[in-house]
Chains A and B, each alone.
Chain A
Amino acid sequence: MSNPLATAEAKPILAAQNLTKHYGDVVALDGVSFEVHDGITGILGENGAGKSTAIKIFLGLVPPTSGSAIALGQNAHESVTVRSELGYMPEHDCLPSSVAAAEFMCHMAEVSGLPPRQARTRAADTLRHVGLFEERYRSMGGYSTGMKQRVKLAQALVHDPTFVFLDEPTAGLDPAGREEMLELIRKTHREFGISILLSSHLMADVERTCDRILVLQSGRLGQSGEVTHFTKETETVFIEVDANREALMASLESRGIKVAFDGHGLYIEGPDESVYDQIRDALVEAEAPLRRMAPRRRALAELFQRDGEDLERELKW
């Protein structure tokens, strides 16, 4: 399979080769091959697509049935030393409720191989990075979901890894918390150069955060490539009018322009330069007061609606 993520010069950070994992009769991964390079890569797929299994294999938590999963040039299942360069934020709960965040962070830094004094400094710095410095001496049992997610991210970063696996980092967060978490993830890569593999079933999260995506469908690699590559190809024009929307649609269709309505505005797919003149004429003809007209990239969700109905049903905004 050709791999759009691979670049000829750079050595991949992660490389999966015919990666297969069976849990009894259940096939979690079925001969998947891909490479992940520097940057933020999203791994997208419905529940049970094999995202978490792939991450666990790269981290050495579970062995593959066949194939290989190489992280930073080593197999984490065979060599534990490479794990000090990897960070992992699991999807599930993983925080002891009776311990303060500062103490837990310090312990996790030490378990990653940092000496005690440096571990204490790193714990404080990392908690400041995720915005929990003031709360660091409180037991984590009393934290909100958003705070717990931040601690989970902090423990993945506390030892300053080269690469971090984030498994559903926005799970359980409200819209504001979700946006803050995504910004934190972007900042982690942008300012500190830590590369990230972000697993999610939320397309919007991946679209807003990642440079590249891998799509897993029922344990197989569906698509992969640059996020902009997927969204660029499908430019549309969004038009919002204050009145006479039906008349405008009729006028556009009479000019041979395909138009769609999503409840808020009209979408015209793949326009060339001449279409703008026709839109202007249709607006005049329909006497529709224009509120907004702007080019719009297609969302990933819309792309996958066309590519697989099953996937569309499972993946959510």
Chain B
Amino acid sequence: MVTAVPREGTVFDIGYQRYTGVREGRNRARLSVVKDGVRTSLGLGRGAWAKVLPWLFIVVLVMIAFIWALVIGAAERMGGPGTAAEIGIPSHSDYYGVASIIIFVFAAVVAPELLCPDRRDGVISLYLVRPLTSLDYVFARWIAFFLVMVAVAWLPQFIMLIGLCMGDAAPVQYLRQHWLDIPRFLAAGVAMSAYTTTLGLLTAAFTTRRAYASVFLVGLFAITTPFTTGMAMEIGGTAGRWISMFNLSNIPVHVNDVIFGQPSSVTRAAPAAEFSAWVLVGWYLLWIIVPAGILSLRYRRLTP
């Protein structure tokens, strides 16, 4: 049976028309800047070159965790339960310490991409004529990069957890015994991410050139580590411990140690590790709050 086809035509006006739909205002604007920040960080919606660096770092971080899990699994299988810990193969508590340099370099390379091009290309003036303040903008960028950093920090830890569970002869029993590692590495990942996000964006706020910001930040981490370590050893005592506190790479790792309740392989020998947990956490918070304040002041005074 043939269905009768109506002979009337329909005109679809696909041209520019007045918009009569809903306007969601400032919250939609903030959310959009966050979403764009996440996409920019990961090179999504950009050319192939924009994806190379962030994904290279992510793959390296995941590979470290993966290989680590394989080694621990193999050691436990061959030597029996507890062998990995006995021969000192690092685990969840050590991961952020060991991978911190890669996480810092990732932040140094990617964070400037969220702020520098907007000021260099003049896009910032388009943001600031929309229902968005300069503080909304920079806070949304901070949230965007923080989310990316959290994902970058947590993903290898989860891969390692899965690897360790699977590598154990009794995966469920392993999970029961080590379930506390999960909230610990989640919390430590948040601490690491907040620190690297704030410092990365603060550096990017002072230049329109991404390369300058990246080199400065990598240089800062690369220089402070040997310099403060050497000076702290040389001077010793309380002064040495305080100098050791200026090792920028170690600041979030000390918080990681506080969360896990034991020093990681990276900070075990650092004189600053002798300070109480309150001092270490307070020092860490200072390094978040002061740079965040400078960052917000910098953008509050921004005139496109």
Question: Are both chains from one complex?
Answer: yes
Residues of A within 8 A of B (CB): 56, 59-62, 80-81, 83-84, 86, 88, 90, 92-100, 103, 107-108, 110-115, 118, 122, 125-126, 128-129, 139, 155, 157, 159-160, 192-193
Partner of A84, one of B14, B21, B23, B33: B23
The reply to whether B131 and A84 contact each other, CB–CB distance below 8 Å, is: yes
A96 to B43, CA, bound (A): 13
Known: A61-B128, A83-B131. A112 touches B123 (CB 8 A): no
In B1-54, which residues have CB < 8 Å from any A CB?
14-19, 21-26, 28-29, 31-33, 35-36, 45-47, 50
Instruction: Closest A residue to B17 by CB, please name it.
Output: A125
Asked whether, in the complex, the Cβ of A126 is within 8 Å of the Cβ of B129, the reply is no
Q: How far is the CA of A97 from the CA of B121 in the complex (A)?
A: 8
Chain A residues whose CB sits within 8 angstroms of the CB of B82 once the complex forms: none
Decide: A84 and B25 in contact? CB cutoff 8 A.
yes
Report the count of interface residues on B (CB-CB < 8 A).
39
Q: Are B129 and A61 in contact (CB under 8 A)?
A: yes
What's the nearest-Cβ distance from chain B to residue A115, in Å? 6
Do A80 and B50 touch (CB < 8 A)? no
Min CB distance A3 to B, Å, is 26
Considering the chains assembled together, what is the distance between the CA atoms of A194 and B47 in angstroms? 35
A125-B14 contact in complex given A80-B131, A111-B132, C-beta closer than 8 Å: yes
Binary CB contact string for chain B from 268 to 287 against chain A (1 if under 8 A, 0 otherwise):
00000000000000000000
The answer to whether the Cβ of B117 comes within 8 Å of any Cβ in the partner chain is yes
Q: Give, as a whole number of angstroms, the nearest-CB distance from A85 to chain B.
A: 9
Indicate whether B173 reaches chain A with its CB closer than 8 angstroms.
Answer: no
- State whether A83 touches B130 (Cβ < 8 A): yes
B132 touches A80 (CB 8 A): yes
- How far apart sit A107 and B118, CA to CA, in the bound complex (Å)? 13
Tell whether, in the assembled complex, residue B126 and residue A94 are in contact, meaning their CB atoms are under 8 Å apart.
yes
How far, in whole Å, are A83 and B134 apart by their CA atoms in the complex? 13
Partner of A114, one of B19, B33, B46, B126: B19
The answer on a CB contact under 8 Å between A61 and B304 is yes
Least CB distance, A305 to chain B, in whole angstroms: 34
For this complex, 8 residue pairs linking A to B, each with C-beta atoms less than 8 Å apart, are A61-B128, A83-B132, A90-B126, A94-B121, A98-B47, A103-B45, A112-B130, A126-B16
Is there an interface contact between A125 and B15, defined as CB atoms closer than 8 Å?
A: yes
A96 touching B123 in the complex, CB below 8 Å, given contacts A80-B131, A114-B19: yes
Q: Taking CB as reference atom, which chain A residue is nearest B113?
A: A98
State whether the Cβ of B127 lies closer than 8 Å to any Cβ in chain A: yes
Closest chain-B Cβ to A161's Cβ sits at a distance in Å of 9
- With a CB–CB cut-off of 8 A, which chain A residues contact B293? none
Task: Determine how close the nearest CB of chain A comes to the CB of B137; give it in whole angstroms.
Answer: 9
Known A90-B122, A95-B121, A139-B47: A128·B16 in contact at CB below 8 Å: yes
Q: A95–B126 Cα gap in the complex (Å)?
A: 9
> Beyond A98-B47, A111-B33, A115-B21: 10 further Cβ-contacts under 8 Å?
A88-B129, A94-B126, A96-B123, A107-B32, A110-B32, A112-B23, A128-B15, A129-B15, A139-B47, A155-B126
Q: Report A122 CB to chain B, min CB distance, Å.
A: 6
Contact A113 B16 (CB under 8 A): no
- A81 contacts B26, C-beta separation under 8 Å: yes
Residue B83, interface by CB 8 Å: no
Contact (Cβ within 8 A) A114 B129: no
From 278 to 304 in chain B, residues with beta carbon under 8 angstroms from any chain A beta carbon are 303-304
* A117 nearest in chain B by CB position: B21
Chain B residues within 8 Å of A, Cβ to Cβ: 14-19, 21-26, 28-29, 31-33, 35-36, 45-47, 50, 117-118, 121-123, 125-133, 303-304
Report A160 CB to chain B, min CB distance, Å. 4
A192 touches B18 (CB 8 A): yes
Contact of A160 among B18, B50, B121, B125 (CB under 8 A): B18
Top 10 A-B residue pairs of the complex, sorted by shortest distance between their CB atoms: A129-B16, A160-B19, A110-B32, A94-B122, A113-B23, A88-B129, A59-B129, A80-B131, A84-B131, A113-B25
Contact A110 B121 (CB under 8 A): no
**Which chain A residues lie closer than 8 Å to B47 at the CB level?**
98, 139
Please give, as numbers and ranges, the residues of chain B lying within 8 Å of A94 by CB-CB distance: 121-123, 125-126
Shortest Cβ gap from A167 to chain B (Å): 10
Contacts of A125 in B (CB 8 A): 14-17
* Chain A neighbourhood of B28, CB < 8 A: 110-111, 113-115
A60 to B32, CA, bound (A): 21
Nearest chain A CB to B54's CB is how many angstroms away?
A: 14
Q: Which residues of A have CB within 8 Å of B36? A: 107
Chain B hits for A122, CB < 8 A: 19
Residue of B nearest to A188 (CB): B16
- The answer for the CA separation of A96 and B37 in the assembled complex, in Å, is 13
Least Cβ–Cβ distance between A169 and chain B, in angstroms: 15
Please name all residues of chain B whose beta carbon is closer than 8 Å to the beta carbon of A88 when the two chains form the complex. Answer: 125-126, 129
- The minimal Cβ–Cβ distance linking B301 to chain A, given in whole angstroms, is 11
Q: Are B17 and A60 in contact (CB under 8 A)?
A: no
A81 to B127 alpha-carbon distance, docked (Å): 13
Q: Residue A86 contacts which of B127, B129, B304 (CB distance < 8 angstroms)?
A: B129
Contacts of A160 in B (CB 8 A): 18-19
B9: shortest Cβ distance to chain A, in Å? 21
Task: Determine the residue in chain A with the shortest Cβ distance to B36.
Answer: A107
User: Do B123 and A114 have beta carbons less than 8 Å apart?
Assistant: no
Q: Are B129 and A83 in contact (CB under 8 A)?
A: yes
A84-B130 in contact (CB<8A)? yes
Contact A113 to B126, CB < 8 A, known contacts A62-B303, A192-B16: no
Evaluate contact between B121 and A96: CB separation under 8 angstroms: yes
In the complex, are the beta carbons of B19 and A111 less than 8 A apart? no
Query: Smallest CB–CB gap between B10 and chain A, Å?
Result: 18
